[in-house]
Structure 1
Amino acid sequence: MRSEIKQKIDLAYGRIKSELVLKNARIVNVFSHEIVDGDIAIHQGKIVGIGNYAGEAEVDLEGRFVAPGLIDGHVHIESSMVSPTQFARAVVPRGTTTIIADPHEIANVKGIEGIKYMLEASEDLPLNAYFMLPSCVPATSFETSGAKLLADDLAELINHERVLGLGELMNYPGVIGGDEEIVDKIRLAREHNKLIDGHGPEIKDKELNAYVAAGVLTEHECSTVEEMLNRLRLGMYILIRQGSAARNLKELVRGLKRENMRRCLFCTDDKHPEDILLTGHIDNNVRLAIRNGIDPISAIQMATINAAQCYRLKNIGAIAPGYNADLIIVDDLKDFNVLQVYKDGKLVGDNKEPLFDVKDFDSSNVTDTVRIKAVIKDDLKISIDNDIANVIRLLPHSLVTQKVVRKVDVENREFKNNKNLDILKLAVIERHNATGNVGLGLVEDFRLKNGAIALTIAHDSHNLIAIGDNDEDMLLAINEVARVGGGIAIVSKGNVQRTLRLPIAGIMSDESMEKVNEKLAEMLNIAYEQLGVNTDIDPFMTLSFLALPVIPELKVTDIGLFDVSRFDFIDLSIEE
């Protein structure tokens, strides 16, 4: 230990050369909020000094800007539709060197085994992958998931070195009401000095006080400045989200000022392949913040040191002696184009391309997860007493739906599709334990014709969900998705048009993000051009959220039609 300390002193003083020196850098100092010109000396993956240094190897940055590696404060890797290894290949070259992930999606399919897979698959990557243990598996009691996780189950992993705490407490009514199962999970986190993430949109006043008093530290669900300020006043950290579905950054930065920025950081939450490859990851948050009036150094602080301090991560998030050499090289502080990425002092990304290989990882423990009881035409039959029905109406660019009443075609007390009416049949099939559960509903404004779409991404329990204008194509799409072990299938006029295999828990591919995105683009084109799907919606994302019984107003689970406002099941037909 004495010799190691002496070596660090000698390296920092310049008596001996460091392994690598980045010369002529313009360094973003997140502590002093300034740009400092100088060299960065790096040895054995650590920064040892800033100033004028000579190294065994030297790289002349020619006055380019250097910032700390970026941190995503809350992300579901599963939403990228690729494995942790392939996720790293996509986001690291774009500047993200640390993530705090919540494996909520795979846990709903495979429980503790799913979380272990995410931990093991993210080892030995040029990416600091930390995890929060999912707090709500299942998300509600109104659907059938593949697992149920209690505090005793989570205790197995609470002391894992990369587990930082308890994931988003979506059951905020349970927290406020003192639900015993939720309180036990909170107690587990607090007894082990772990952090607790929040998910409490719209709660305020004494309810918000109760939520914070329970130990909830963060919030990523703010959609208004008022919500954000209410939480900042109570000592919470705010994660400003810019994902694929929820994009809150432009609104929230309106409420930022120098005095409150230190409690704010960035996250993506859910971001799909196309958006990551096209717009970027946390680098996109930084760019958007700058375009919306945040000064560049403050934006970088939110993407680095603020996140590190929120999650108690030592030695990352800044450029200073003793910190990990997780660094990004950018062209300027306006466009914030990430040119190169260093992880632990090694160049791992150049011009958005990864400079590292990922090992093949055994995912056999989390494959073969689609187990459905054989679905027949009668299972898709919607019995209805009259021609007046509760219908799910889609809204453009929104996960929120409307509950509307519509006149539908009925023959012998059975719903019949009318080609002239934009009302489609929706089915949610339990796919974890082959129970035979099939929930049915009707959807307006999807506008699909002459076909069907099925997928095994159906938040949060990830059952098999299908939509179509005829039973034959729906059955074919359902069976195709089951045949390939999970994924997305498009069918038209009795033919399978395209299938995207997602063998890992039925929600992730083992292929690269580029390949997955290429296949998704082909399938989107078929959905819009061939099946005539409403171009104001993303057919796959929209469909995946039609089974989530916590987003208003009307949804379908494998158990039935669910009215979120009443928080109870309702009949599809309306009594006259």
Structure 2
Amino acid sequence: MTDALKRLIQAAQQPEEADLIIQNGTVVDVFSLETFKSDVAIKDGCIVGIGTYPNGKQVVDASGKYVMPGFIDGHIHIESTMVTPSEFSRALIKHGVTTVVTDPHEIANVAGTIGIDFMLKDAANADMDILMKLPSCVPATPFEQNGATLTADDLRPYLKNSAVIGLAEVMDYPSVLNANPDMLEKVRMTIDAGMMVDGHAAGLPDAALNVYSTAGIRNDHEAVTAEEAIARVRRGIHVLVREGSAAKDLLALLPAINERNSRRFSFCTDDKHLDELAEEGTVNYAAQLAIQKGLDPLIAIQMATLNNAVCHGIDDKGAIAPGYLADILITDSLETLRPETIIKDGRLLDLGALRSIRATVPEAVRSSLHLKKVTKDDLQIPLQEGQKAWVIGVVPGRIITEKIAADVQTEDGFFVSDPENDQVKMVVCERHHQTGSIGAGIVSGLGLKRGAIASTVAHDSHNLVVAGTNDEDMLLAIEEAERMQGGLVIVEGGKVLASVPLRVGGIMSEKPYEEVIEELHALHEQLATLAEEGQNIFMILSFLCLPVIPRLKLTDIGLFDVESFQHIEVGIPM
């Protein structure tokens, strides 16, 4: 380490010894929100100088262009892209996202530490830096069945891994409020290690924010209104402005951001489907959208770079300055932010040379679907004629739902899907331990007109979730998902119309991202014949199982009221 630092100090004094010089560019200064003309000198993957440097071992001419830091995504679940970390990197880095902070709680809920180990090992093959926050809530709640339980003792050894930088979103607020010993130990050991703890304050009142901040949890990505964002900032909580596939909060939060408080905001993605990610990127897209809606481009860039680095305690990324790692983008526009040149770790990145690396997947992760036989009787929802029912109401563009008391269609004492009124049956089948546990409910707002869809991507426990207009198609969708050992399925009229196999824990594919995108496009083409356009139904379906997001959700144990934090019956007493 001493020799390495000595070389950098020498290069700072003798920039002609630099490995790479970026000349004649306009540097984006994210510290002071200004731009200035300067060359940039790079040695051993690190920036060693800004100034005038006529010579270098390798020179890049940036005349008429802007030199800015690589983008940092402050919070993303790689598993939600349905590809492995190395493939995720290959799909995203072309957009200039050179670092992501990820929470592997999806695979951890399926396979525990085996899943975490797989993610770390494959992430080491990535071209971008994939930094990990340890999953704090596996399981997310005690109100569903998942594949593993991770205690503080299970997580502690990972704090020594150089790719691990903190504790991921603490979703189990009651455990914090009630000072659960294991949860407090997870928080304490992380802070004692000099690392940050992420929050998850979805739908919580201001008093709960006081508890989170008091516990040392100082960021959150669940603000959905400007008022909620301001309440967090006032309590010292950094706001991660989320813009993904299902949860799109950026436009609602923009009014809260100004020049005085912008350092307390940054961009994140949370969850984004692969086809959208490959086409748009993640936080680069959020920055572009914010700029289009009137945010100062320099603030938007700051939120997508330096602010995320500071939020997560990353002290050598996010800026063009001596001593910072040379993750650099060269672009001709501060509005579109499309990188013409990407420099990663001080080396010019050749996107055409990036090759797919087939991940080595443990057998326990490849064969993770253990489902007890499901029959038509298992799908039934008893209701008397004229009895109202609690219905999960989808909210477009949000992962929160409505709790609706509605008149529904019945036949012979059971609910019958009514696609004309946008009320269809939904079931969640436990798939980790063959318990046979099945929860059934009613959902409105999916827009499904015919057939059935099934998925083993169901946050956070990733049980098998199915929605359909008839029981026969729902049963076939379940059988096909089991045959594939996980994935997405569309069925109509007793036929499988399309599918996307996801053999890695039932949530990720083993294939190159380009092939997965082709499968997704074929899936969406078939889905368009069965459902209303304009919504990503599979993404919506995956969040209808998450019992830490208001207001009404469905788990394998049954219908769950998030506000009262208890399971309730579908039928409302007459």
TM-score range, shorter chain: over 0.9
Report if aligned partners of 2:90, 2:127 keep a CA contact under 8 Å in 1. Answer: no
Unaligned runs of 5+ in 1: none
Q: Secondary structure of 1:446's match?
A: coil
CA–CA distance in structure 2, aligned partners of residues 23 and 405 of structure 1: 66
Aligned-residue offset at 1:76: 0.8
Unaligned runs of 5+ in 2: none
Question: Which residue does 1:30 correspond to in 2?
Answer: 30
Residues 440 and 58 of structure 1, relative CA distance in 2, 3 Å threshold: same
Question: Which residue does 1:377 correspond to in 2?
Answer: 376
Question: Which residue does 1:545 correspond to in 2?
Answer: 543
User: Deviation string for 1:74-94 (max 9, x for gaps)?
Assistant: 111111111101110111111
Question: Which residue does 2:107 correspond to in 1?
Answer: 106
CA–CA distance in structure 1, aligned partners of residues 9 and 192 of structure 2: 38
Question: Which residue does 1:565 correspond to in 2?
Answer: 563
Question: Which residue does 2:14 correspond to in 1?
Answer: 14
CA–CA distance in structure 2, aligned partners of residues 4 and 398 of structure 1: 48
Report if aligned partners of 1:93, 1:340 keep a CA contact under 8 Å in 2. Answer: no
1:134 and 2:132 are equivalent in the alignment: no
Task: Note the 1:346-385 alignment, pairs <5 A.
Answer: 346-348=347-349, 353=351, 355-364=353-362, 365-385=364-384
Report if aligned partners of 2:64, 2:332 keep a CA contact under 8 Å in 1. Answer: no
CA–CA distance in structure 2, aligned partners of residues 38 and 256 of structure 1: 30
Question: Which residue does 2:122 correspond to in 1?
Answer: 121
Per mean C-alpha deviation after superposition, the further-off stretch among 544-553 and 167-176 is 544-553
Q: Secondary structure of 2:355's match?
A: coil
For 1:367, the aligned partner's letter is R
Aligned-residue RMSD, C-alpha = 2.2
For 2:376, the aligned partner's letter is K
Question: Which residue does 1:475 correspond to in 2?
Answer: 475
For 1:510, the aligned partner's letter is E
- If the length of structure 1 is used for normalisation, what is the TM-score? 0.93
Question: Which residue does 1:289 correspond to in 2?
Answer: 290
Aligned-residue offset at 1:282: 1.4
1:261 and 2:259 are equivalent in the alignment: no
Residues 315 and 551 of structure 1, relative CA distance in 2, 3 Å threshold: closer
Task: Note the 1:144-543 alignment, pairs <5 A.
Answer: 144-348=145-349, 353=351, 355-364=353-362, 365-390=364-389, 391-399=391-399, 400-411=401-412, 413-417=413-417, 422-529=422-529, 531=530, 533-543=531-541
Question: Which residue does 2:55 correspond to in 1?
Answer: 54
For 1:268, the aligned partner's letter is T
User: Deviation string for 1:345-366 (max 9, x for gaps)?
Assistant: 22225xxx55422432201242
For 1:22, the aligned partner's letter is I
Residues 10 and 459 of structure 1, relative CA distance in 2, 3 Å threshold: closer
Q: Secondary structure of 1:382's match?
A: coil
Aligned-residue offset at 1:496: 0.8
Report if aligned partners of 1:46, 1:321 keep a CA contact under 8 Å in 2. Answer: yes
Identical columns (%): 42
Residues 193 and 49 of structure 1, relative CA distance in 2, 3 Å threshold: closer
CA–CA distance in structure 2, aligned partners of residues 104 and 573 of structure 1: 33
For 1:376, the aligned partner's letter is T
Report if aligned partners of 2:248, 2:397 keep a CA contact under 8 Å in 1. Answer: no
Per mean C-alpha deviation after superposition, the further-off stretch among 40-49 and 63-72 is 40-49
Q: Secondary structure of 2:480's match?
A: helix
For 1:392, the aligned partner's letter is I
CA–CA distance in structure 2, aligned partners of residues 59 and 253 of structure 1: 36
CA–CA distance in structure 1, aligned partners of residues 449 and 3 of structure 2: 73
Residues 20 and 456 of structure 1, relative CA distance in 2, 3 Å threshold: same
CA–CA distance in structure 1, aligned partners of residues 418 and 327 of structure 2: 59
CA–CA distance in structure 2, aligned partners of residues 4 and 525 of structure 1: 54
User: Deviation string for 1:471-526 (max 9, x for gaps)?
Assistant: 22111111111111100011111111111011111111122333323322221221
Report if aligned partners of 2:246, 2:540 keep a CA contact under 8 Å in 1. Answer: no
User: Deviation string for 1:123-160 (max 9, x for gaps)?
Assistant: 14221111111111111111111111121211131222
Report if aligned partners of 2:87, 2:357 keep a CA contact under 8 Å in 1. Answer: no
User: Deviation string for 1:410-442 (max 9, x for gaps)?
Assistant: 22x344456765432212111011111111122
CA–CA distance in structure 2, aligned partners of residues 407 and 320 of structure 1: 62
Per mean C-alpha deviation after superposition, the further-off stretch among 19-28 and 500-509 is 19-28
CA–CA distance in structure 1, aligned partners of residues 573 and 8 of structure 2: 79
Report if aligned partners of 2:202, 2:549 keep a CA contact under 8 Å in 1. Answer: no
For 1:481, the aligned partner's letter is A
Runs of 4+ in 1 over 6 A off after TM superposition: none
Per mean C-alpha deviation after superposition, the further-off stretch among 379-388 and 475-484 is 379-388
CA–CA distance in structure 2, aligned partners of residues 280 and 16 of structure 1: 36
- How many equivalent residue pairs? 570
Aligned-residue offset at 1:310: 2.2
Report if aligned partners of 1:135, 1:169 keep a CA contact under 8 Å in 2. Answer: yes
Aligned-residue offset at 1:54: 0.9
Report if aligned partners of 1:79, 1:270 keep a CA contact under 8 Å in 2. Answer: yes
Aligned-residue offset at 1:67: 0.4
Report if aligned partners of 1:244, 1:271 keep a CA contact under 8 Å in 2. Answer: yes
Per mean C-alpha deviation after superposition, the further-off stretch among 6-15 and 499-508 is 6-15
Report if aligned partners of 1:21, 1:40 keep a CA contact under 8 Å in 2. Answer: yes
CA–CA distance in structure 1, aligned partners of residues 4 and 157 of structure 2: 35
Residues 290 and 420 of structure 1, relative CA distance in 2, 3 Å threshold: closer
Q: Secondary structure of 1:388's match?
A: coil
Q: Secondary structure of 2:343's match?
A: strand
Residues 56 and 170 of structure 1, relative CA distance in 2, 3 Å threshold: same
Q: Secondary structure of 2:37's match?
A: strand
